[in-house]
Amino acid sequence: MVLKAHAAVELDFQGATPTPSFADECIGVLCRTMGWDEFKKRVRLTNVPDASRPLIKHVVHRRRAEAPVAVC
């Protein structure tokens, strides 16, 4: 996993529009797994299209409410 080898990671959405399933399974699960505080510190989302911001906020908010999952 890139985050194990690096202090932070940037997800650049330049020219891309995340689908609901990608937002949930990638960004949402990453947030749940890392925990909100760690996610905020180490993951940067850049160039997110304005139309996708509400989706990502919804996914992160929903996954934050779930208990963190231990990564093996």
What is the pLDDT at residue 51?
Answer: 97
What is the pLDDT at residue 6?
Answer: 81
What are the structural domain ranges in the chain? 15-64
Considering only residues 69 and 72, tell me which one the structure prediction assigns the higher pLDDT: 69
Instruction: Report residue 66 as tokens.
Output: 């779930």
Please work out, in degrees rounded to the nearest 5, the angle formed at the alpha carbon of residue 50 by the alpha carbons of 47 and 28. Answer: 75
Q: What is the pLDDT of residues 2-39, one digit of tens each?
A: 677 888 999 999 999 999 999 999 999 999 988 999 99
What is the pLDDT at residue 5?
Answer: 80
What is the pLDDT at residue 16?
Answer: 97
Q: What separation, in Å, do the N-terminal and C-terminal C-alpha atoms of the chain show?
A: 12
- Please state, in angstroms and rounded to a whole number, the distance separating the CA atoms of residues 46 and 23: 14
